[in-house]
Amino acid sequence: MKTNDPHQIQLTGLPILSSESQGWENILVEQFHHPAGEGHCQFGDEHTICLSLAPRPVRLLQIRGGKTYTGLYGKGDIAIMPAQMPFFARWEGEDQYLQIRLAARFIQTVAQETIDQETDRLELCSEFRIRDPHLESIGLLLLAELQQAHVGSRLYIESLANVLAVHLIRQYATPNLHLPIYEGGLSQRQVVQILEYIEAYLHEDIKLTDLATLLGMSQFHFSHLFKQATGITPYQYLLQQRIERAKQLLKQTDRSITEIAFSCGFSSHSHLSKQFRQLTGITPKAYRTN
């Protein structure tokens, strides 16, 4: 996601971690650690969510949308800044937070695909300090991916971005939009079509949009219907199949673990080892020698 927005005025300091180099589409995730200070910022085409990671509460002054708010921000507190809204902030101690920026056009697309009507007037509400366990959970999952040494699966990141967008639309959008809930899941034919596609392209970086487009539906609808039909998310199924193929290659070939990792769609030896251990309880090397 590009960050060279001419309307952007960045707060003091560079991020500790950033997803900018990882090729995540429609979403930019960055972790910051600032000493006491102040700054102002405006993102022209992105909605911004800030999740406090501060181990101790920090007194923070915010001015945006003609309103001023002062209060203590501690771990788990969240602020939402709509696109094109300039804001000023002053914090009195060391501050740590996760900043998530979602392209405004992405939010619009998700809303339009989901409710199948024009959403040109869709806006997000400005929130100074809220508690939202679901929003916090998504943020921490994105942070965990950001902290990994390997490049995360696009399917996983796209799934999280879609879940985040839908939650923002449901809880913080104006006018209020009621997103439909679809029951029944995919048909057997559709499931087989998706499973065959995943099997054929298991070694590639499969994207959520690839699978949804295959069935001619939105990413949000596809994810929900796939889970209803199979009991697991598309990403969980993809990961299971990659591990199963890795098991076969570990037992039936003498190829190196690094080579097997790449052929199964993992970004590195360590990426395969981490996921393999989580699903099987042992390392690929131990599995091969058993």
Task: Supply the DSSP string of 147-176, one letter for each residue.
Answer: HSSSPPPHHHHHHHHHHHHHHHHHHHEES-
Mean pLDDT, residues 224-233 taken together: 88
Each residue of 84-106: pLDDT tens digit? 898 899 998 889 999 999 999 99
Over residues 136-160, mean pLDDT: 85
Question: Does 213 share its domain with 245?
Answer: no
CA distances in angstroms from 94 to 87, 91, 100, 203, 263, listed in the order given = 19, 8, 20, 44, 44
The confidence score (pLDDT) of residue 221 equals 85
Which structure tokens are listed for 215?
């069935």
Same domain as 127, residue 22: yes
Find the mean pLDDT for residues 127-135.
93
**Per-residue pLDDT tens digits for 172-201:** 988 666 655 556 678 888 999 999 999 999
Percent of the chain predicted with pLDDT > 70 = 88
201 and 127 both lie in a single domain: no
Does the pLDDT value for residue 218 go beyond 80? Answer: yes
Q: How far apart are CA 25 and CA 7, in angstroms?
A: 20
Query: What's the mean pLDDT in 136-157?
Result: 84
Query: Is residue 247 over pLDDT 70?
Result: yes
Task: Tell whether the model's pLDDT for residue 11 goes beyond 70.
Answer: no
Indicate if the pLDDT at residue 146 is higher than 70. Answer: yes
Establish if 182 belongs to a structural domain: no
Residue 153: the pLDDT is 77
Domain ends where: 200, 216, 231? Answer: 231
Q: Do both 32 and 95 map to the same domain?
A: yes
**Residue 7 lies inside a defined structural domain of this protein:** no
Residues in Cβ contact with 45 at an 8 Å cutoff, skipping those fewer than 6 apart:
5, 7, 83, 84, 103, 104, 105
Non-local (6+) Cβ contacts of 33 within 8 A are 13, 16, 94, 95, 96
Domain extent for 192: 188-231
**Residue 110's pLDDT band (boundaries 50, 70, 90)?**
confident
pLDDT for the residue numbered 8: 41
Number of domains the chain is built from:
3
Q: Which two tokens stand for residue 96?
A: 């740590």
pLDDT at 3: 43
* Domain co-membership, 75 together with 123: yes
Do 196 and 102 share a structural domain? no
Give yes or no: residues 141 and 28 share one domain: yes
Q: Is residue 276 part of a domain?
A: yes
Q: Which amino acid is at 276?
A: F
Residues 272 and 153 in one domain: no
Mean pLDDT, residues 217-236 = 88
Ranges 109-113, 114-118, 239-243, 279-283: which has the least confidence: 114-118
User: Is 284 found in the same domain as 207?
Assistant: no
